[in-house]
Amino acid sequence: MTRHPELPERDRRILSALVQAYIEHGEPVSSLWLASRGFGVSSATLRNILARLEEQGYVHQPHTSAGRVPTDLGYRLYVDQLLSDRRVARPAPLVEERLRKAGTIDEILSHASHEISRASHQIGFAIGASVESTIFEHLEFVPLDAGKVLVVLVSTRGITHKVVDPAEVYSGTELHEAANYLTTEFKGCSLAAVRAQIVERLQAEQTLYDALMARAFRLASSTFEALDPQPAIYIQGTSLLFELGSGEDPATALATMKTLVRMMEEKMRLVQLLDDISGAGLTVVIGSELVDPELQHFSLVTSRYARGGRIGAVGVIGPTRMRYLRAINIVDSLSRAIDRVFETT
Amino acid sequence: MTRHPELPERDRRILSALVQAYIEHGEPVSSLWLASRGFGVSSATLRNILARLEEQGYVHQPHTSAGRVPTDLGYRLYVDQLLSDRRVARPAPLVEERLRKAGTIDEILSHASHEISRASHQIGFAIGASVESTIFEHLEFVPLDAGKVLVVLVSTRGITHKVVDPAEVYSGTELHEAANYLTTEFKGCSLAAVRAQIVERLQAEQTLYDALMARAFRLASSTFEALDPQPAIYIQGTSLLFELGSGEDPATALATMKTLVRMMEEKMRLVQLLDDISGAGLTVVIGSELVDPELQHFSLVTSRYARGGRIGAVGVIGPTRMRYLRAINIVDSLSRAIDRVFETT
DNA sequence: TTTAGCACTCATCGCAATCGACTGCTAACC
DNA sequence: GGTTAGCAGTCGATTGCGATGAGTGCTAAA
């Protein structure tokens, strides 16, 4: 995992120190400041090194008489170093316990995103599986007043319900039998497959040799036709938005908030973004490495999980100048916790 | 509804024009500008009048050589005048139709808040009933894998579900019978009453002359014990946050956003706030009239609804400098639409 | 009571001077 | 060759100041 082999060890240490300092204080780092941090060299030497690092594209000067700020490439080297040096994240048994107590997948993911946000002081998110990879488990029809029917659908994604108002009237026992029939028929199939099957069989209705089944399918169709094809996404930490902006000038902070609030609303864009990030396991994507031009100033730390038939991702989104070490550890330990919880469910 | 009787008609007209101008342009209004709007008097006269209005607390000067800005009292007079002159809001049949299509109360209120936000370009909200005023309708237990049970609770508030993992094992038919028993037993009671009854009967378990009922109550207890005592609240329009701030200086806009984002997170505070507003029907509360010191610069336009056993409120929150006329009409027509929808459900 | 005229106030803008935090470069040094 | 002290140079940030102009309050006349 060690890229950038051309860079001497000392330069690399200095660059890391610079990145850390910038992350901590948010101001351009000067040669004098670095010299005071005990590298055994003077500020003049550091100036030479910094000039070289700038030539190589790792750092950048906002203006001639200013210190240096890491570029995305600089962050990249810093993060790569973190990832290669890193020990396995210490487990967080307390958090895992709390996740385990949450019943449905929805609740688990909601908790997870909340936990990530709380610990990282950034916006945390968790994303579940799409209909393609969600497995149908159970269906139940509950009669309500006035001929309406409550449909309860249980799948690996969790439980969803919906009230439908069918044209025909169904008796209580009929509903019960229909649900039983559909459950045994489709148990173990993906939701997408179930939906396809239902459409298919309805179109060739004559093949349905039993009136009960025909009615069952008509009832089921309204449940499955409107299934959201996108995976659920949980986002937490909107209130931290304005903390990230503190210390910087108001106009920048405002722009940052705008972008992120818009992102939060356009959840689908975030889903798309995460789909694009192909890497398995823990991944860090920094600023310009993201395709979306609006997100040039943000970084994404994500980790996929895939256990017990459930797949998805958890992660953090924040400014490129974020505490990567902390974020990486939190995301990693959370995704491991989710793995374990799903494994034993 | 006409307060401030001491104010001459002409002064009042001028004040209204000033408020409208300020709402529209967001800049202090000068005597010259007002003179150009055809009151038949010169700017000098207007200056005299404005000086008097300032003395009476209706307007305020940011600094000596600036125009006038309405105070909260000024807004109050303007709004009172609007309310007394106002015709009944024109109905919005399209919106009502859309609301009617939404099945559950949750969906109706969610739609309503969204509609309010969209139409008013402010943050819209809708708030439902608390457990005290929600009526129990129906209960269903659905067996899942590994002894877990899905509890589906239908009430006037909508449908909620929950997975419980009971210590005992229940058969499918037993669950069915238990649900039927509990449903017939409690149908029509408020959720709060149901909860109280269950606790009571469990504590005096010996009075339960039937093992089935005893088990049914134990199962039901876990469903009802954790019922959220607070009413549901739906908030929409967060993305409009930054539109309100545009045009003003970034620091102010940032502060505004901070406050509102925090409000959105602390939903309970908003609920409390709404409870404090006692007035029936349409109410406008302006800036300092709100107790909360953080909300000094915001106004609230709300309207209660109460039909078909459901009570609650819908409304708009925005800066004191908001388009009151528009907000009032929207909130009023929406709350009437909700009234009608609930009436015929 | 209204109005014209006028002096006065005060935020805003542009501009020049100053300050100071850093750098880049050169020349000496190990 | 790498390192360091010293110094000139750059450029953003801050400060001070005068001009500008929008808008008021006041006074005296209509």
Q: What are phi and psi of A305, to 5 degrees?
A: -125, 155
Lowest mean pLDDT: which of A43-47, A323-327, B173-177, B184-188?
A: B173-177
Interface test with A, best of B183, B258, B270 (most A CBs within 10 A): B258
Element (H, E) at B23: helix B9-25
Give the rounded percent of residues in chain B with a pLDDT score beyond 70: 89
The larger pLDDT score, comparing residue B223 to residue B83, is at B83
Residue A245 has pLDDT above 70, yes or no: no
Residue B156 CB lies within 7 Å of the nucleic strand D: no
Six token digits for residue A54: 């700038």
Which of A326 and B167 is assigned the larger pLDDT? Answer: A326
Which chain B residue has its CA at the smallest distance from A237's CA? B265
* Closest residue on chain A to B263 (Cα): A239
With 0-12 / 13-18 / 19 or more C-beta atoms within 10 angstroms meaning exposed / middle / buried, residue B254 is: buried
CA pair distance A224, A186, nearest whole angstrom: 13
pLDDT (0 to 100) of residue A305 = 87
Q: How many other C-beta atoms can be found within 10 angstroms of the C-beta atom of residue B215?
A: 18
Residue A260 CA to residue A252 CA, distance in Å, equals 12
Poorest-pLDDT segment among A273-282, B48-57, B284-293? A273-282
Q: Is the pLDDT of residue B14 over 90?
A: yes
Q: What is the Cα–Cα distance from A38 to A26, expressed in whole angstroms?
A: 21
Angle, vertex CA A70, rays to CA A68 and CA A71, nearest 5:
120
Q: How far is the CA of B58 from the C1' of D30 (A)?
A: 31
Chain pair A-B, CB pairs under 8 angstroms = 84
Residue B280 token pair: 């029936």
Distances (CA, A) of B192 to A251, A297, B50, B196: 49, 50, 56, 6
For B312-318, what is the mean pLDDT? 91
What does each C-alpha distance from A93 to A115, A334, A338, B132 come to in angstroms?
A: 13, 10, 11, 38
Q: How far apart are CA B201 and CA B196, in angstroms?
A: 9
On the question of pLDDT at B334 being above 60, the answer is yes
**pTM score:** 0.81
The torsion of the CA quartet B56, B59, B62, B66, rounded to 10 degrees, works out to -110
β-pair partners for A305 = A312
Give B228-281 pLDDT, tens digit per residue: 666 778 888 877 766 665 556 666 777 777 787 777 777 778 888 887 776 678
Q: Which two tokens stand for residue B234?
A: 């739906």
Chain C positions with any atom < 7 A from a protein CB: 2-5, 8-11, 20-26
Mean pLDDT for chain B? 85
Q: In whole numbers, what is the pLDDT of chain A averaged over residues?
A: 85
* Residue B212 CB lies within 7 Å of the nucleic strand D: no
**Sheet holding A298-307: strands in order across?**
A233-236, A123-127, A310-319, A298-307, A282-286
pLDDT at B219 over 90: no
3-state secondary structure of B89: coil
DSSP helix/strand/coil, B278? coil
CA distances, B250 to each of A262, A344, B180 (Å) = 18, 51, 60
- Going B167 to B170 to B174 to B177, the CA torsion angle's sign is positive
Q: Using CA atoms, how far apart are residues A289 and A296, in angstroms rounded to an integer?
A: 8
Contacts of A258 in chain B (CB under 8 A): 242
The CA distance from B60 to A235, in Å, is: 43
pLDDT at residue A241, rounded to an integer: 63
pLDDT at B176 over 80: yes
For residue B101, what pLDDT is reported? 79
Is the confidence at residue B17, as pLDDT, over 90? yes
Q: Under DSSP, is residue A123 helix (H, G, I), strand (E, B) or coil?
A: strand
pLDDT per position as a tens digit, B124-148? 999 887 777 788 888 888 887 777 7
If one counts every other C-beta atom within 10 angstroms of the C-beta of residue B310, the result is 23
Number of helical (H) and strand (E) elements in chain A, helices listed first: 13, 10
Residue linked to tokens 């009436």: B343
Phi and psi for B301 in degrees, rounded to 5? -115, 115
Q: Which two tokens stand for residue A116?
A: 């990530």
Report the range of poorest mean pLDDT among A17-31, A93-107, A184-198, A199-213. Answer: A199-213
What's the rounded Cα separation, in Å, for the pair A297 and A125? 18
The pLDDT assigned to A248 comes to: 64
Question: What CA–CA distances, in Å, run from A120 to A155, A214, A320?
Answer: 31, 53, 14
| Nearest Cα to Cα of residue B123 among B244, B19, B13 | B244
Residue A250 has its nearest CB partner, among B104, B142, B251, at B251
Q: How far apart are CA B199 and CA A21, in angstroms?
A: 58
The whole-angstrom separation of Cα B183 and Cα B136 is 8
A180 touches strand C (CB under 7 A): no
Concatenated DSSP letters of A188-251: TSBHHHHHHHHHHHHHTGGG---HHHHHHHHHHHHHHTT--SSPPEEEE-GGGHHHHHTTS-HH
Q: What would the two tokens of residue A85 be?
A: 């040096």
Write the pLDDT tens digit of every residue in A112-167: 999 999 999 999 999 887 777 788 888 888 887 777 788 888 887 777 777 787 87
Rounded, the Å distance between the CA of B284 and C1' of D26 is 39
pLDDT score at A206: 59
Q: Read off the pLDDT band of A288 (50, 70, 90).
A: very high
Q: How many residues does chain B have?
A: 345
More confident position, B6 or A119: A119
All residues at 6 or more sequence positions from B161 whose CB lies less than 8 Å from its CB, including other chains: A152, A159, A161, B150, B151, B152, B153
pLDDT of residue B4: 66
- pLDDT score of B252: 73
Per-residue confidence (pLDDT) for residue B205, from 0 to 100: 64
User: Which range is least confidently modeled, A31-35, A311-315, B188-192, B248-252?
Assistant: B248-252
The 10 Å CB-count burial string (b at 16+, else e) for A239-257 is: bbbbebbeeeebeebbebb
* Distance between first and last Cα of chain B: 34
- DSSP single-letter state for residue B53: H
Strand-pair category, A158-164 with B310-319? unpaired
pLDDT at A28: 96
Q: What is the mean pLDDT of residues A79-92?
A: 84
Q: Is the CB of A66 under 7 A from strand D?
A: yes
Give the highest mean pLDDT range of A206-210, A249-253, A329-333, B227-231.
A329-333
Task: Report the pLDDT value the prediction gives residue B218, as an integer from 0 to 100.
Answer: 82
Apex B122 CA angle, B116 and B128, nearest 5: 45
pLDDT, one tens digit per residue, over B185-215 is: 899 898 889 988 888 887 776 565 667 677 7
Residues from chain A that touch B239, judged by Cβ atoms under 8 A, are 261-262, 265
Under an 8 A CB cutoff, do A254 and B238 touch? no
Chain B's closest residue to A183, CA to CA, is B144
pLDDT tens, A168-178? 888 888 888 88
How far is Cα B304 from Cα B315, in angstroms, rounded to an integer? Answer: 9
The pLDDT, as a whole number, for residue B208 is 56
Q: Rounded to the nearest 5 degrees, what angle is found at the Cα of B31, between the Cα atoms of B25 and B35?
A: 95
Match 């342009």 to its residue by tokens.
Answer: B25
Least Cα distance to B1 among B71, B79, B53 occurs for B79
CA B326, CA B20: separation in Å to the nearest integer? 12
